[in-house]
Chain A
Amino acid sequence: MSGARLKEIAYSRVLTFMIFYLVIVIYQTLLSELLRLGPARLDLGLLLLIYVTLNLGSRPGIVFGFGLGLLLDVADPIWLGLGSLIMGTLGYGVGYFKESLFVESIYSKMLLVFLTVISHDILRYLFMHKFELSAIGSVLLGTTIFSALYTTAVAAIVMLMTKPKQYQPQPV
């Protein structure tokens, strides 16, 4: 097997998805409770979904979101399919956001993360409570806002740490 072929496999989307799924499984089983800050939880799955969609496009985002949703549905078997539905939809939404709007700046990406976490929780709540809106305010203020802020903050830190250095022309 040639080096170019190995490189191709390494960069293939399937392998990337597998690695990300493994990271999610490890995070869910071992780390999620450790990284919880009071009511705020870090939504690593959504962060990876946004990363995949922004870097690979809408279709990989939908596929990745679908698989991710299925993986997370294991925790709540009664709602098997709901996670894949919402995550797939969010992958589609983030892809649409990327294609329609300018999301290159860190601030717009932070806004995207924040809105995605809020949207995920609202959609999940609406489906699980048959679109009953009476208690959605308490859910939003109880945990969702904090989780969205926490996840956005982590995303901002990661983006700042991995931000490529901008070229600055030397003065003549």
Chain B
Amino acid sequence: MLPVLGPFSKNKTNWYILVCWSISITLLALSEPKKDLVTGLIRQVLYSPFQQAGEKVRGLYQVHLENQKLRQQIAGMTVENGILEEQRLENHRLRQLLELRSILDFEVIPAEVVTRDPIFRLHSVHINAGSQSGVLRDLPVIDRRGLVGKVTEAFDKTSTVQLLFDPGFKLSCLVQRSRVTGIVSWKTGQLLKLDYVPSNADLQEGDEIVTSGLSSIYPAGLKIGRVIKVGQDRESLFKTVEVSPYADIYNLEELFVIKTYPE
């Protein structure tokens, strides 16, 4: 023990702190390149593996966040895409309707289906055109494919349209090719039937059925549908004829109420 240190040297702990200070001060006194060498070595051996692992974890976390963000963007874009697709189809339909409207000599009132009969889903629909737009009871209603039905009630701003699939709906019509007449009414499902067609009438599958013009409601020549099946009972005086309507009654959207037509 150094006698100059006196009582300090008697405590072993004091020697520990003395050594600690000596080494620390020596390190502090080192030149910068030497300090860099020592710290670089420690950093490379001890810190680098954890720093690299940390960077990888942070990278993965960033990817996870980015993934979540992209998923959200995809969800938003999917919805947007659906809306745009819907608008594109609507645009296409409206263009067809405009073309139809320009071809027709009829004066028509455009309307959109707003509600459907909730109980008898396919018997009637409500449209957003009423008496204020010139819609009256018993005016015929068509879509871009063919006859849909007729107006049964006209309110101020809406109207009720009785559809071809209403069991009470009956309509005088004729086969366009052979001019054979009959009465069209709903059969079952999505099919119509053509009644009172004599068993010897000229009728075949694929024939087009149009309105006869004999009614005071419907003008002549409105397309109704196409014959898909012709049958004949031995004992019956009439044929059994199934007709598929042109109008997509299940998916009606844009309609026209025929206001006036040339006689």
B17 pairs with A92, CB closer than 8 A: yes
Partner of A71 from the list B23, B30, B46 (CB cut-off 8 Å) is B46
A88 pairs with B50, CB closer than 8 A: no
A26 pairs with B50, CB closer than 8 A: yes
Residues of B within 8 A of A30 (CB): 50, 53-54, 57
Residues of B within 8 A of A58 (CB): 13, 16
Partner of B27 from the list A28, A81, A95 (CB cut-off 8 Å) is A81
B17 pairs with A88, CB closer than 8 A: yes
B57 pairs with A81, CB closer than 8 A: no
Is residue A77 within 8 Å, beta carbon to beta carbon, of the partner chain? yes
Partner of A81 from the list B28, B43, B46 (CB cut-off 8 Å) is B28
A29 pairs with B13, CB closer than 8 A: no
Residues of B within 8 A of A70 (CB): 27, 42
B35 pairs with A78, CB closer than 8 A: yes
CB distance from B82 to the nearest CB of A (A): 41
> Interface digits, B25-63 against A, CB 8 Å rule (1 contact, 0 not)?
111111010011011101100110011011001000000
Instruction: Give chain A interface residues in 6-30, CB to chain B under 8 Å.
Output: 21, 25-26, 28-30
Is residue A131 within 8 Å, beta carbon to beta carbon, of the partner chain? no
A interface residue numbers (CB < 8 A to B): 21, 25-26, 28-30, 58-59, 62-63, 65-66, 69-71, 73-74, 77-82, 84-85, 88-89, 92, 95
Q: In the assembly, what is the distance between CA of A73 and CA of B39, in Å?
A: 8
Q: In the assembly, what is the distance between CA of A89 and CA of B21, in Å?
A: 8
**Interface of chain A: mostly helix, strand, loop or mixed:** helix
Is residue B24 within 8 Å, beta carbon to beta carbon, of the partner chain? yes
A88 pairs with B57, CB closer than 8 A: no
Q: In the assembly, what is the distance between CA of A84 and CA of B16, in Å?
A: 13
Is residue B12 within 8 Å, beta carbon to beta carbon, of the partner chain? yes
CB distance from B94 to the nearest CB of A (A): 57
CB distance from B28 to the nearest CB of A (A): 4
CB distance from B150 to the nearest CB of A (A): 73
Residues of B within 8 A of A73 (CB): 27, 39
B13 pairs with A62, CB closer than 8 A: yes
Contacts A62-B20, A79-B28, A92-B17 given; does A29 touch B47 at CB 8 Å: yes
**Interface of chain B: mostly helix, strand, loop or mixed:** helix
B46 pairs with A84, CB closer than 8 A: no
Residues of B within 8 A of A81 (CB): 23-30
Q: In the assembly, what is the distance between CA of A26 and CA of B21, in Å?
A: 27
Residues of B within 8 A of A59 (CB): 12-13, 16
Task: Name 5 interchain pairs, CB-CB below 8 A, sorted by A.
Answer: A73-B27, A73-B39, A80-B35, A85-B28, A88-B20
A82 pairs with B39, CB closer than 8 A: no
CB distance from B55 to the nearest CB of A (A): 10
A66 pairs with B57, CB closer than 8 A: no
A88 pairs with B21, CB closer than 8 A: yes
A74 pairs with B12, CB closer than 8 A: no
Question: Which 9 residue pairs of A and B lie closest in terms of their CB atoms, listed nearest first?
Answer: A81-B27, A85-B24, A88-B20, A81-B28, A77-B39, A29-B50, A80-B35, A81-B24, A84-B24
A66 pairs with B20, CB closer than 8 A: yes
Q: Which residue of A lies closest to B27 (CB)?
A: A81
Residues of A within 8 A of B21 (CB): 85, 88-89
B16, B42, B43, most chain A CB atoms within 10 A: B16
Q: In the assembly, what is the distance between CA of A32 and CA of B54, in Å?
A: 12
Q: In the assembly, what is the distance between CA of A126 and CA of B86, in Å?
A: 72
